[in-house]
Amino acid sequence: MTTAFLGPRGTYSEQAAIEFAGSDVDLIEMPNFAAAVAAVEQGRAEYAVVPVENSIEGPVSQSLDILIHDTDLKLFAEIVVPIEHVLVGLAGTSLEIVTHVHSHPQALAQCSKWLDTHLPNADRVAAMSTSGAVQAVVERGDHTSVAIGPERAQAMYGGEILVRGIQDVANNRTRFMVLADHDAEPTGRDKTFIAMRLDKNLPGSLHKALGPFAAADVQLTNIITRPTKRVLSEYVFLLDLEGHRLDPHIAASLEEMRAITQELKIIGSCPQYVSKFDRETSGKEHH
């Protein structure tokens, strides 16, 4: 089961890919979203794991635009990774002597309150990725530089975790989609991801398009608006629904919706994401 993901290794993207694939033996690293999608389209990978929301490393609106316009791959699974930054340095590094903190600018920004308090005099140095920052600091081998990144990067490149949980915002997560040439079978606890194109000049068109779901008690959990690439006054709405496209009430609502929208693309249905922690907890409750 070969799985393509957005490199480099040691990032939150790799963490999502490992959670999906079970281990890192069949992962192939891709330089961008388009390449990950192409790997599946061309048969070099079965799955592609790509960030869709609140990522550190990727331009997510570009990802969504490829999903809307440029590929027929389907949503096969969803993975949510908590962003938990750790401070990594050489073993025995004391914060007093640190002069440089390296990371991706977004990760540095997400830890800026902690840095202001605990490393107020250290220079912040940009890196292309969080894991690249950890690798560079460990390889440089001097005690005055530290890096901010995921725990996974320290496990790969060594050094020592000096401080955990240094990000300012709690509940910081990145949502990833696993794409394949088909979507997933119904499980009874699923979600469906669709893109619908509406004419901007039709007032209330969104209200009208949502009507079938409201009538059928279908739950909407997320809406993202993207301009279409073709016409400036047109919008694409990306919707997350609770339920599988093959569930009868969802199937009927989607049919009604197709008649109302200018275009409806069903990106696919897959099981709702349940974190490993929640799976283990709910497992224990039943024993």
For residue 172, how many other CB atoms are within 10 A of its CB? Answer: 15
Asked if 265 is part of the footprint of a second copy (rule: CB under 8 A), the reply reads: no
Judged by CB under 8 A, the residue of 1, 97, 161, 220 near a second copy is 220
Catalytic residues: 174, 176
| C-alpha neighbours within 13 Å on the C-beta side of residue 60 | 15
Residue with smaller CB distance to a second copy, 25 or 126: 126
Q: Is 2 in the site for a second copy (CB under 8 A)?
A: no
Q: Which stretch binds a second copy (CB under 8 A): 14-22, 81-89, 127-135, 157-165?
A: 127-135
Residue 237 as a binder of a second copy (CB under 8 A): the answer is: yes
Cβ atoms of residues 272 and 191 within 8 Å: yes
Could you tell me whether strands 85-89 and 234-242 are parallel, antiparallel, or unpaired per DSSP bridges?
Answer: unpaired
60: left (phi over 0), alpha (psi -120 to 50) or beta: alpha
Does position 174 interact with a second copy (CB under 8 A)? The reply is no
- The H-or-E segment that residue 50 falls in is strand 47-53
Phi-psi category of 74—alpha, beta or left, where left has phi over 0 and alpha has psi -120 to 50?
beta
How many residues at the interface with a second copy, by CB under 8 A? 49
Q: Which stretch binds a second copy (CB under 8 A): 8-16, 81-89, 207-215, 278-286?
A: 207-215
Residue corresponding to tokens 């224990």: 284
Task: Say how many C-beta atoms besides its own lie within 10 A of residue 231's C-beta.
Answer: 11
Which of 33, 29, 61, 40 shows the shortest CA–CA distance to 131? 29
**142 or 217: CB nearest a second copy:** 217
CB 221 within 8 A of CB 241: yes
- Binder to a second copy among 82, 211, 234, 275 (CB under 8 A)? 211
Query: Binding a second copy by CB under 8 A: which of 25, 128, 155, 274?
Result: 128
Least distance (Å) from a second copy to the CB of residue 11? 12
Segment 52-71, which members bind a second copy (CB under 8 A)?
A: 54, 57-59, 61-62, 65
Measured CA to CA, the distance from residue 92 to residue 44 in angstroms comes to: 44
**If binding is defined by CB under 8 A, does position 22 make contact with a second copy?**
no
Binding site residues, a second copy, CB under 8 A: 31-32, 54, 57-59, 61-62, 65, 104-106, 108-110, 112, 124-129, 169, 171, 200-201, 203-204, 206-208, 210-211, 213-215, 217-225, 227, 229, 235, 237
